[in-house]
């Protein structure tokens, strides 16, 4: 029997919402990023691999429908009689004109096995006409927008070359929620120079931000080959968290979040062929076992420290 989680997990939320198991399919929409094409920068955020955070996505050489079918085959052993979320993950998936986005997203959301559309993007790439498109699509099936915030601290944001201020995120959140869209926010724990309290400050902010976000992804910092972060790690080594340190931090993050917030991710996976550090993160089974043990021993519960 599966142990009851002391937080509102994505899998539980999906079962409650759709009445069956739902699996995410990572797709490639063929876009780039203003932090890569010279608009803001040419190297991307320092932690971002050549795959643009979409290292597990299906190849762009196929149409959206072909990508969906290929991804379904790839996860066929993990799901039976379920449905799927079309997840445009690689790079910035609203960084294109509506004339390009509309047929792309419409093809995905129209697939009979797709229950929802999830779009990874930046808060500075959400013009009014794109929001109108997403609002229309949301009337057909649920549309989630995933924003890569990573941290609320401006000094860290500059160091990782994020390329926008916190005020840009809060403005985008207001507009997205005003359009009736679900918003999931990505946070990276362990960024160079950040203390434990700084990381918890980011989580506190997201626990209480108005309008409220719908979900959060807590991502362990991975140092991946061929990134600016890897160059920094080689030339000016910075500490990375041990498994014990990360689990302790996660427990505090979970306690801080409101009990109804969906936690979409607790660690994340870096491609093993690219992973430089922390190497323990490549053993997901060991991490999940240690995390479950910590849950049992500490009695950590989501919302334990939350004040509305």
- Asked if the model's pLDDT at residue 94 lies above 50, the reply is yes
The pLDDT value recorded for residue 57 is 53
The pLDDT value recorded for residue 307 is 80
The pLDDT value recorded for residue 4 is 75
Torsion of CA 122, 125, 127, 131, to 10 degrees: -40
**What confidence category does residue 60 fall into, taking pLDDT thresholds of 50, 70 and 90?**
low
Report pLDDT digits (tens) over 121-140. Answer: 999 999 999 999 999 999 99
- Asked if the model's pLDDT at residue 19 lies above 50, the reply is yes
Can you spell out the DSSP letters for 99-156?
HHHHHHHHHHHHSTTEEEEEEEE-TTS--HHHHHHHHHHHTTS-EEEEEEEE-S-HHH
Report pLDDT digits (tens) over 31-48. Answer: 999 989 989 887 789 998
Find the range with the poorest average confidence among 137-146, 172-181, 191-200, 265-274: 265-274
Report pLDDT digits (tens) over 144-166. Answer: 999 999 999 999 999 999 999 99
CA 152/CA 161 separation, integer angstroms: 13
The pLDDT value recorded for residue 52 is 44
Can you spell out the DSSP letters for 31-67?
---TTTSSSS-SS-STT--TTTT-TTSPPTTS-HHHH
Q: Quick one: average pLDDT of 187-197?
A: 97
The pLDDT value recorded for residue 79 is 80
Give the distance, in angstroms, between the CA of residue 308 and the centroid of all CA atoms in the same chain.
25
- Asked if the model's pLDDT at residue 81 lies above 90, the reply is no
- In the CATH hierarchy, which fold is given to the domain comprising 10-298? TIM Barrel (3.20.20)
Report pLDDT digits (tens) over 194-251. Answer: 999 999 999 999 999 999 999 999 999 999 999 999 999 999 999 999 999 999 999 9
| Encoded tokens for 246 | 């990360």
The pLDDT value recorded for residue 197 is 98
Per-chain mean pLDDT for the chain: 92
The pLDDT value recorded for residue 271 is 83
- Asked if the model's pLDDT at residue 66 lies above 80, the reply is yes
- Cα angle at 289 between 285 and 293, to 5 degrees? 170
Q: Quick one: average pLDDT of 42-66?
A: 71
- Asked if the model's pLDDT at residue 78 lies above 60, the reply is yes
27 torsion bin: left (phi>0), alpha (psi -120 to 50), beta (else):
beta
- Asked if the model's pLDDT at residue 258 lies above 70, the reply is yes
- Asked if the model's pLDDT at residue 1 lies above 80, the reply is no
- Strand partners for 188: 219
Torsion of CA 99, 102, 104, 109, to 10 degrees: 180
The pLDDT value recorded for residue 58 is 60
Find the range with the poorest average confidence among 34-38, 94-98, 139-143, 168-172: 34-38
Predicted model pTM: 0.94
- Collect all residues with Cβ–Cβ distance below 8 Å to 236 and sequence separation of at least 6: none
């Amino acid at each position: 029997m599966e142990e009851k989680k002391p937080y509102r997990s994505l899998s539980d939320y999906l079962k409650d919402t759709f009445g069956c198991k739902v699996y995410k399919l990572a797709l490639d929409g063929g876009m780039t990023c203003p932090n890569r094409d010279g608009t803001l920068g040419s190297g991307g955020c320092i932690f971002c691999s050549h795959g643009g955070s979409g290292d597990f996505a299906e190849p762009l050489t196929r149409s959206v429908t072909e990508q969906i079918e290929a991804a379904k085959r790839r996860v066929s052993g993990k799901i039976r009689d379920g449905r799927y979320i079309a997840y445009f993950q690689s790079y910035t998936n609203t960084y294109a004109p509506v004339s390009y986005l509309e047929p792309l997203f419409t093809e995905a959301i129209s697939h009979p096995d797709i229950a929802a559309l999830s779009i990874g993007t930046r808060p500075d790439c959400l013009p009014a006409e794109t929001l109108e498109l997403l609002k229309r699509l949301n009337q057909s099936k649920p549309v989630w927008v995933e924003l890569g915030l990573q941290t609320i601290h401006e000094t860290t944001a500059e160091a990782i070359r994020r390329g926008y201020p916190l005020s840009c995120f809060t403005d985008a959140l207001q507009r997205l929620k005003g359009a009736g869209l679900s918003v999931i926010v990505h946070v990276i724990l362990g960024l160079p120079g950040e203390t434990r309290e700084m990381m918890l400050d980011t989580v506190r902010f997201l626990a209480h931000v108005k309008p409220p976000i719908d979900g959060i992804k807590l991502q362990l910092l991975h140092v991946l080959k061929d990134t600016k972060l890897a160059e920094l790690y080689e030339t000016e080594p910075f500490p990375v968290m041990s498994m014990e340190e990360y689990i302790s931090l996660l427990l505090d993050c979970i306690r801080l979040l409101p009990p109804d917030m969906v936690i979409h991710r607790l660690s994340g996976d870096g491609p093993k062929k690219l992973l430089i550090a922390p190497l323990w993160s490549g053993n997901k089974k060991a991490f999940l076992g240690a995390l479950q043990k910590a849950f049992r021993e500490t009695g950590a519960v989501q919302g334990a420290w939350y004040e509305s």
